[in-house]
């Protein structure tokens, strides 16, 4: 199995190590047909994209599209679900500036409200105080469900990775909204157990490298192992294809 499309990668515009062109060249070398650059959204406190760089980034992608017509390039973003407010760190209008929008919850996102701040707090506290886990779960779940209702994004990144969630509720809503759940090479959720638990929902998944270095683009050995172990049919992973020699 290999990726036909890798929809999740980072460059030096956020916390990645390669330039856009480094990433694109690596994507071509690995045989991808479609490739997205999805740096962290504006609201990431440490390495979010700077709004003032957006037009430069878009121009750079357009240049790369011309220079490398053999691959389909997408200018994307990994937006931050800020917390239980369900707000993303970009407006619906700003979403239109991108070819693809991914969204996920990250500890480094700047809270937009007190609700979001307490979401971060409970995701920290529950590791030490078990009683906080249920509150954290409710907050995380609420934020993700609201975000899916409000914003037409395409992929929910590493669901459940940064804090506990009601995964079934999220998975059902994702299906209803046509949002793909991600199986991410760099993050342990979705786990094999979770994939098994969700089996009856017949979800659509996207497998991603979430590469932060060019050499990791399209590399998903851990994802493939999880999929195999959980018995998820390959047809459910929208961006996977069989190797030529397997035909
Ligand atoms: Zn992420
Ligand atoms: Zn990422």
Give 16 Cα–ligand 1 centroid separation in angstroms: 12
Work out the pLDDT band at 231, boundaries 50, 70, 90. very high
Give the ligand at the shortest distance from the Cα of 44.
Answer: 1
Give the ligand at the shortest distance from the Cα of 7.
Answer: 2
Give 130 Cα–ligand 1 centroid separation in angstroms: 25
Mean pLDDT of the chain: 95
Give 106 Cα–ligand 2 centroid separation in angstroms: 9
Give 64 Cα–ligand 1 centroid separation in angstroms: 24
Q: How far is CA 12 from CA 50, 106, 203, in A?
A: 12, 18, 33
Residue range of the domain that includes 168 = 2-246
How many degrees, rounded to 5, is the angle at CA 60 between CA 94 and CA 55?
A: 35
Ranges 35-49, 119-133, 152-166, 212-226: which has the least confidence: 119-133
Query: Distance between alpha carbon 120 and the CA centroid of its chain, in Å?
Result: 19
Total domains in the chain come to: 1
Per-residue model confidence (pLDDT) at position 245: 59
Give the ligand at the shortest distance from the Cα of 77.
Answer: 2
Give 104 Cα–ligand 1 centroid separation in angstroms: 6
For residue range 40-72, what is the model confidence (pLDDT) as tens digits?
Answer: 999 998 899 999 999 999 999 999 999 999 999
| CATH number of the CATH domain containing 175 | 3.20.20.140
For residue range 162-214, what is the model confidence (pLDDT) as tens digits?
Answer: 999 999 999 999 999 999 999 999 999 999 999 999 999 999 999 999 999 99
Work out the pLDDT band at 232, boundaries 50, 70, 90. very high
Q: How far apart are CA 120 and CA 143, in angstroms?
A: 12
How many degrees, rounded to 5, is the angle at CA 157 between CA 151 and CA 163?
A: 100
Q: Is the pTM above the cut of 0.85?
A: yes
Give the ligand at the shortest distance from the Cα of 81.
Answer: 1
Give 9 Cα–ligand 2 centroid separation in angstroms: 6
Give 40 Cα–ligand 2 centroid separation in angstroms: 7
Give 125 Cα–ligand 1 centroid separation in angstroms: 21
Per-residue model confidence (pLDDT) at position 211: 98
Q: How far apart are CA 104 and CA 113, in angstroms?
A: 17
């Amino acid at each position: 199995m290999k990726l036909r499309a890798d929809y999740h990668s980072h460059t030096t515009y956020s916390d990645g190590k390669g330039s856009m062109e480094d990433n694109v060249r690596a994507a071509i070398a690995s045989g991808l047909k479609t490739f997205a650059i999805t740096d962290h959204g504006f609201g990431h406190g440490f390495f979010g994209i700077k709004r003032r760089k957006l037009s430069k980034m878009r121009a750079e992608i357009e240049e790369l599209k011309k220079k490398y017509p053999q691959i389909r390039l997408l200018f994307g973003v990994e937006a931050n679900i800020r917390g239980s407010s369900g707000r993303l760190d970009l407006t619906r209008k700003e979403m239109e500036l991108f070819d693809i929008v991914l969204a996920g919850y990250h500890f480094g996102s700047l809270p937009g409200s007190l609700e979001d701040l307490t979401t971060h707090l409970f995701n920290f506290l529950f590791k030490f105080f078990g009683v906080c886990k249920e509150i954290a779960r409710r907050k995380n779940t609420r934020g993700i469900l609201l975000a899916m209702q409000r914003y037409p994004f395409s992929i929910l990144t590493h669901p459940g990775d940064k804090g506990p969630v009601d995964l079934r509720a999220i998975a059902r809503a994702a299906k209803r909204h046509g949002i793909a759940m991600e199986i991410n090479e760099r993050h342990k959720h979705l786990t094999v157990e979770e994939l098994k638990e969700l089996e009856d929902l017949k979800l659509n998944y996207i497998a991603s490298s979430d590469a932060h270095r060019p050499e990791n683009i399209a590399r998903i050995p851990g994802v493939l192992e999880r999929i195999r172990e959980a018995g998820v049919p390959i047809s459910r992973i929208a961006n996977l294809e069989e190797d030529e020699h397997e035909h």
